[in-house]
């Protein structure tokens, strides 16, 4: 396991120096946030980013994300141009020595929450989702404060896109994902890179908009489209764990033993109702995901890839980007590191006893 931490660049209130001081921390997960979706990432910009991370004594382990332009997801005629740009971005990342790239294929918006400041009994705040609070008005007005979309001046564009996706079937979205994968994965293989798809979050349709990367069957389907290790998975316990139908340890063993998990997000969620949840602390007892059991499955399957403590609570009066404070993610990293050490040593003792 290569313990890593999400960093949002020079504008992030969390500094690389602080991240380096977290016990066991090795890597940084980041992106070029000033490059518009669909543009080619310049090699010099990638190298500057990598150098800034390495100068802080850390390794740039994963690029999260290289966004997929909406025209690709929608299957528009312009998609070939954006796919070519994506291919050239992968080549530039390979030239810079970066071999793991995360992406998602969620239509219109990225991960979705209905509350960014859900208060827990201990006084901390966290991210939460209630499906019955999501409707057209909430979505289009910006009241939901979606993390990946600026609603202030794009309502007409958003409405057009919203209507388009409401009329798209899951199979049509699958066809667009397959078109993208068949074009991009061979380039990733050629460059020695590992593409990792992030599951949809939450893992079900939202206000009539299809979501298709939600469970073991859908991930198996995607892996079969281009059957090569370059076509891999970002295993996110929070996204997949929001659905009680997903058996996370079994999925970890299934895809891990196939060598298709190249990146892991470990966070916990507490399922509270049908299609409702909040993000708890990382501990197994705090959420609906048994983190020990999941990491044990990860160890058994030989998954030794970059792992980051995903979203955390906001604790001790910390302010900043909800879900991405320093304190709770650092505590989560320490907990995960401790679990991994205990599981690894326990496994060694069993082997020695044999």
Q: Could you give the residue numbers annotated as active site?
A: 198, 236, 265, 310-311, 324
Instruction: Kindly state the DSSP code that residue 137 receives in the 8-state scheme.
Output: H
Do 336 and 291 contact (CB within 8 A), yes or no?
Answer: yes
Q: Helix, strand, or coil here: 279?
A: strand
Q: Secondary structure of 51-67 in the HEC alphabet?
A: HHHHHCCCEEEEEECCC
Tell me the sheet residues that pair with 279: 269
Q: Helix, strand, or coil here: 5?
A: strand
Rounded Cα distance between 126 and 282, Å, is 12
Do 211 and 243 contact (CB within 8 A), yes or no?
Answer: no
Identify the burial level of 100 via C-beta atoms within 10 angstroms of its C-beta, where 0-12 means exposed, 13-18 middle and 19 or more buried.
buried
């Amino acid at each position: 396991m290569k313990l890593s931490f999400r960093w949002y660049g020079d504008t992030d209130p969390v500094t690389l120096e602080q991240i380096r001081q977290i016990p066991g921390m090795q890597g940084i997960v980041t992106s070029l946030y000033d490059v518009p979706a669909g543009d080619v990432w310049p090699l010099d910009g990638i190298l500057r980013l990598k150098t800034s991370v390495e100068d802080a004594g850390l390794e740039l382990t994963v690029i999260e994300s290289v966004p997929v332009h909406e025209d690709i997801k929608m299957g528009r005629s312009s998609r070939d141009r954006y796919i070519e740009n994506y291919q050239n971005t992968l080549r530039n990342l390979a030239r810079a020595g970066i071999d793991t790239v995360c992406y998602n294929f969620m239509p219109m918006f990225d991960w979705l929450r209905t509350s960014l400041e859900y208060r827990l009994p201990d006084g901390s705040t966290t991210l939460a989702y209630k499906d019955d609070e999501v409707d057209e008005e909430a979505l289009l007005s910006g009241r939901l404060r979606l993390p990946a979309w600026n609603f202030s001046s794009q309502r007409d564009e958003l409405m057009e896109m919203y209507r388009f996706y409401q009329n798209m079937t899951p199979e049509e979205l699958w066809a667009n994902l397959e078109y993208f994968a068949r074009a991009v994965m061979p380039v990733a293989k050629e460059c020695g890179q590992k593409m990792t798809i992030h599951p949809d979050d939450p893992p079900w349709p939202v206000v009539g908009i299809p979501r298709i990367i939600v469970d073991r069957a859908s991930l198996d389907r995607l892996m079969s489209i281009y059957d090569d290790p370059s076509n891999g998975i970002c295993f996110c316990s929070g996204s997949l764990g929001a659905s009680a139908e997903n058996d996370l340890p079994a999925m970890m063993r299934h895809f891990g033993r196939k060598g298709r998990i190249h990146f892991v997000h470990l966070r916990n969620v507490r399922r509270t109702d049908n299609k409702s949840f909040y993000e708890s602390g990382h501990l197994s007892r705090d959420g609906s995901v048994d983190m020990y059991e999941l990491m044990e499955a990860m160890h058994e399957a030989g998954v030794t890839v970059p792992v980051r403590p995903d979203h955390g609570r906001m604790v001790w009066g910390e302010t900043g980007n909800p879900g991405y404070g320093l304190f709770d993610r650092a505590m989560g990293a320490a907990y995960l590191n401790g679990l991994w050490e205990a599981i690894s040593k326990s496994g060694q003792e069993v082997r020695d006893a044999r």
